[in-house]
Structure 1
Amino acid sequence: MPESEVNSPVGSRAGSWAEAAERIGADLHLELSRTGSRRAALLTALRDAVRGGRLAPGTRLPPYRSLAADLGLARNTVADAYAELVAEGWLTARQGSGTRVAERAAPANPPRVPKKSPALPAPAPRHDLRQGTPDASSFPRAAWLTSARRALNAAPNEAFGPGDPQGRIELRTALAAYLARARGVYTDPERVVVCSGFAHALRLLFGGGVLRGPLAVESYGLGFHRSLLQAAGVRTVPLGLDEDGARTEELASLTGGVRAVLLTPAHQFPTGGPLHPARRAAAVDWARGRGGLVLEDDYDGEFRYDREPVGAVQGLDPARVLYLGSVSKSLSPAVRLGWMVLPEHLVEPVLTAKGEREAWASVLDQLTLADFLASGAYDRHVRHMRQRYRRRRDRLVAALADRAPHIQPTGIAAGLHAVLRLPPGTEASTVKAATWQGIALDGLAAFRHPSATMPHRDGLVVGYATPPDHAYGAALEALCRALPPGGPDRAT
């Protein structure tokens, strides 16, 4: 043996391991089982090579095209195997660095384990990139406390008695003024009914017997809302979606007694984008001709970044559009306040469904929100958060452009989340990979109506509002590590 090898220090030996890793990456010498599927055989061979130490941590694997040619496999077979092993934690994929054996992979000469050992549990999430919640640390505590003190000092004694089911007149007056100014809603305080949020509004309208199904809905939306409607005996009928929002022209062809449609016209949830003006008009015309209703969920209408504000559909026909809103996105879901702007003929039925006394929305919070709106504090908070969320959105877009330029973010002109379009067939494995990176998020398929017929496009729904500022950069790094690699070897 050469003297240089006999006397080589540990550091030199580490360097030789790195060089060997690169050489192994060029020619894996994998032997695939002749039984079962080729994909399963490749997965087993790669796991065994890592588990046995032949593929050391940091080893760079060949591109899909090269390995597929060496083994006589389809490129998609190799790509899918790589993606699954990334999801399981055996491999990592990073734009510009290729696919490598994970540093956390099993060491050489591992202890023998039974073949049917249970799978390792996924790590607890460290980064919350789920949609639906604002930045809790940004709640305007000082301004809210100021409004609370002012509202309590000004409140009449009767405000501390049994609550009015319609809501405090102070809040209904402030809401009517704000919604007219900021969202183009046409109303007066007598047609506003306070509730505890959007879900409560649905329970009152359908569970309380004010409206009956079936109900047309968008093909993608919150499964929780569909479950709530199903529990009330309401059948939901999905409408198609495209880049212009819900295909409301399909309403005219619906049968089975559909006389109401639920829409998110300001920013379709979760795919993003406003409802096209022609489709807004088509929905209202359909409601007029059918003697029906449009239910407008204006869940984050205040947050827009790259486009002019889109007013509420309700302004087109207040008699045929039922407007629903809340402070769950703009302030906090903990405040538990929402509102319904009702056609006049529905006010009494909704109040009957609520009962004689307010049992849901705190009168003290109602008075505080009324002052918060009337004093201008709400407008200042929304403007501040719009800038804050825009910076968050921009950091996400920049991270993708730098680390995963093949992944396209969509629906980013407004709202608190983005949809990342993925290569076909990679959504499930990418969600799993995100879990192993300590990220909590959802795939687009989680929001798909079970009866939808439109083709599904793989994607991730990434909320960028929730992580605190100090952890947001690490969350984006982890997200980029979980994304499927791009390049010419990846089918799209």
Structure 2
Amino acid sequence: MAWQLQLNLDRQSTTPLIEQLRSGIKSMIEAGALRPGAPLPSSRLLAADLRIARSVVVEAYQQLTAEGYLISVDRSGTRVANLAPAQDRAVTGASGEPALSTVSARWDLRTGLADVSGFPRAEWLTCLRRVLQTATPEHLEYPALAGAAELRSELTSYLGRVRAVRTTADTLMTTAGFAQGLALLSNMLLDLGHATVAVEDPGHPGQRRFLEDIGLRPVPVPVDDEGIDVQALAASEARAVLVTPVHQFPTGVVLSESRRAALVTWARKVDGIIVEDDYDAEFWFDDAERPPAVQGLAPERVVYGGSASKTLAPGLRIGWLAAPAHLTPVLERARARQDLGSSTIDQLGYADFIATGRLERHLRQMRRRYRERLEAFTAAVANLLPDFRLIGSPAGLHTFLAIPPYLGERALVDAAARRGVVVRGADHFAFHHRPPTPGLVVGDAVHSRDSLVGAASALAAAVRMIRTD
């Protein structure tokens, strides 16, 4: 058996070994098993592995290099060449909007990104070193499906203190981000006999597709300036709903007190389940008191979900679900069908990061950074686009920019792209109901203050372009 390359040579064949080797590597490249840039074993190592003369490997490599399949890189050995033509890097919106080139765009204002340049590498490494030094043999075994007990304990305390979430370590599950949490919840709902899930409209198109792919039918429920319309929810006949109550995505509105009460009343009346996606509540910039999680009003009816994707980095894949006690066994059964748990070491590192106060120090720094950027963009809009207005709560990593009635949303998005600004209109997030206000959904987290002022200036130029056409 060859260990360095998945190739078998037939020494009984009439085909010369060099041709077998050349055609074998060529077939692997054409089939995609060897990707562009992949390193090949040195000729000496591969010859020893296949028990053939090194000259056979050298000649096969030379022939493939001459044919354009391989390249020889100084001090890096032999690698697979990039045979494919340069790809068009345009990004096509999921709702069928025209492709927007990110190559020529100067400002990419699409949502969903956090500023990972602020990731506290040294502090995170300190925590990982500490837990690696103290981890027991049990920590290196297969983890509990619900997650590391240390992290569940820290999250229980932290979420109760900062979000008024009422849960226990026994009813909290760690996940690989909220995406896995939503997959687990979707499978749980199917197990419980649900066929539909109500979703906010406008809302997250990726989550709608996610639910559909798993086998649930998303039912659109309109959103107004108080959040999700609970009367329309009651008329939908769905008994499960996915909501973003603190900073509705994408409008930014906050679910009002009366709607919160009505939502809980609805869930109790229909024996329903509320899934609360608290995706960016850590970043609240209003002087008014930040609303607590809805979960605290009805822990027996709400599954609370969150993650470290916006607060630290999505690459960590750390998330959590705080579920009612009677749903925890159903969630664990759904989890058992998917995987054997998440990385214990990363969970222990995050637990230490919380326990030592590093998370709160990091959040203070990032709140200040994001708030300054939002204030710079808000001031630029007031100065350069006086007919525009920012609606929703000043919070999170995106802003809803309402546009004046004399501008068409689609025309503005297209004109902005021609001025180097990639941004999505509110219609991109609509499902069935039109958004309550035409506008742009601006991701303002990853750009500097000066860059956001420049983006506002480019949007103003796009408005002038439309009005003079």
Tell me which interval the TM-score lies in, with the shorter structure as reference length.
0.7 to 0.9
Aligned residue for 1:217? 199
Aligned residue for 1:245? 227
> d(CA) in 1 for partners of 2:346 and 2:461?
43
- Is this contact kept in 2: 1:135–1:468, CA < 8 A? no
What is the deviation of 1:261? 1.2
- Is this contact kept in 1: 2:146–2:341, CA < 8 A? no
Aligned residue for 1:332? 313
Q: TM-score, normalised by structure 1?
A: 0.70
2:346 partner letter: D
| 1:189 equivalent in alignment to 2:169 | yes
Aligned residue for 1:161? 141
| 1:349 equivalent in alignment to 2:330 | yes
What is the deviation of 1:294? 0.9
Aligned residue for 2:214? 232
- Is this contact kept in 2: 1:193–1:341, CA < 8 A? yes
What is the deviation of 1:149? 1.4
Aligned residue for 2:21? none
Cα separation, partners in 2 of 1:455 and 1:314, compared to 1, 3 Å: closer
Say which SS state the counterpart of residue 322 (structure 1) adopts.
Answer: strand
Aligned residue for 2:179? 199
Aligned residue for 2:397? 416
1:293 partner letter: I
What is the deviation of 1:481? 2.6
Aligned residue for 1:133? 113
1:336 partner letter: R
Over the aligned positions, Cα root-mean-square deviation in angstroms equals 2.4
> d(CA) in 2 for partners of 1:418 and 1:122?
20
> d(CA) in 2 for partners of 1:213 and 1:120?
36
1:224 partner letter: G
1:322 partner letter: V
> d(CA) in 1 for partners of 2:338 and 2:412?
49
Write the mapping of 1:281-430 to structure 2, written as runs, cut at 5 A. Answer: 281-306=261-286, 307-355=288-336, 359=340, 361-424=342-405, 426-430=408-412
Cα separation, partners in 2 of 1:284 and 1:484, compared to 1, 3 Å: farther
1:301 partner letter: A
Say which SS state the counterpart of residue 353 (structure 1) adopts.
Answer: helix
Of stretches 123-132 and 273-282 in structure 1, the one that deviates more from structure 2 is 123-132
What is the deviation of 1:485? 7.5
> d(CA) in 2 for partners of 1:283 and 1:479?
38
Say which SS state the counterpart of residue 173 (structure 1) adopts.
Answer: helix
What is the deviation of 1:331? 1.1
Q: TM-score, normalised by structure 2?
A: 0.74
What is the deviation of 1:318? 0.6
- The one-character-per-residue Cα deviations of 1:312-339 (angstroms, maximum 9, x if unpaired) are 1111111111101111111111111110
> d(CA) in 1 for partners of 2:276 and 2:415?
36
Cα separation, partners in 2 of 1:147 and 1:122, compared to 1, 3 Å: closer
> d(CA) in 2 for partners of 1:410 and 1:470?
22
1:277 partner letter: E
> d(CA) in 2 for partners of 1:460 and 1:433?
13
Aligned residue for 2:423? 441
> d(CA) in 2 for partners of 1:323 and 1:130?
26
- Is this contact kept in 2: 1:204–1:210, CA < 8 A? no
- Is this contact kept in 2: 1:443–1:461, CA < 8 A? yes
- Is this contact kept in 1: 2:245–2:255, CA < 8 A? yes
> d(CA) in 2 for partners of 1:268 and 1:342?
21
| 1:431 equivalent in alignment to 2:413 | yes
Cα separation, partners in 2 of 1:360 and 1:474, compared to 1, 3 Å: farther
1:390 partner letter: R
Of stretches 423-432 and 165-174 in structure 1, the one that deviates more from structure 2 is 423-432
- Is this contact kept in 2: 1:430–1:484, CA < 8 A? no
Aligned residue for 1:461? 441
- Is this contact kept in 1: 2:223–2:436, CA < 8 A? no
Say which SS state the counterpart of residue 383 (structure 1) adopts.
Answer: helix
Cα separation, partners in 2 of 1:246 and 1:310, compared to 1, 3 Å: same
Unaligned runs of 5+ in 1: 1-118
What is the deviation of 1:272? 0.7
Aligned residue for 2:462? 482
> d(CA) in 2 for partners of 1:120 and 1:245?
30
Cα separation, partners in 2 of 1:356 and 1:423, compared to 1, 3 Å: closer
1:213 partner letter: A
Aligned residue for 2:80? none
What is the deviation of 1:468? 4.8
| 1:267 equivalent in alignment to 2:247 | yes
- The one-character-per-residue Cα deviations of 1:408-435 (angstroms, maximum 9, x if unpaired) are 1112421111111113451111111221
> d(CA) in 1 for partners of 2:307 and 2:149?
17
**% identical equivalent positions:** 42
> d(CA) in 2 for partners of 1:140 and 1:480?
36
- The one-character-per-residue Cα deviations of 1:130-187 (angstroms, maximum 9, x if unpaired) are 1111112111112211211122222222111112211000110010000000000001
Cα separation, partners in 2 of 1:147 and 1:455, compared to 1, 3 Å: closer
Unaligned runs of 5+ in 2: 1-98
- Is this contact kept in 1: 2:377–2:453, CA < 8 A? no
Say which SS state the counterpart of residue 400 (structure 2) adopts.
Answer: strand
> d(CA) in 2 for partners of 1:200 and 1:225?
11
Say which SS state the counterpart of residue 386 (structure 1) adopts.
Answer: helix
Aligned residue for 2:70? none
- The one-character-per-residue Cα deviations of 1:376-428 (angstroms, maximum 9, x if unpaired) are 11111111111111100000011111111111111242111111111345111
Say which SS state the counterpart of residue 240 (structure 1) adopts.
Answer: strand
What is the deviation of 1:436? 1.6
Write the mapping of 1:2-41 to structure 2, written as runs, cut at 5 A. Answer: none
Cα separation, partners in 2 of 1:363 and 1:404, compared to 1, 3 Å: same
> d(CA) in 1 for partners of 2:404 and 2:326?
49
- Is this contact kept in 1: 2:156–2:172, CA < 8 A? yes
> d(CA) in 2 for partners of 1:259 and 1:445?
27
Structure 1 residue ranges (4+ consecutive) displaced by more than 6 angstroms after TM superposition: 119-122
Larger RCO: 1 or 2 (CA < 8 Å, sep 6+): 1
Cα separation, partners in 2 of 1:289 and 1:431, compared to 1, 3 Å: same
Cα separation, partners in 2 of 1:455 and 1:152, compared to 1, 3 Å: closer
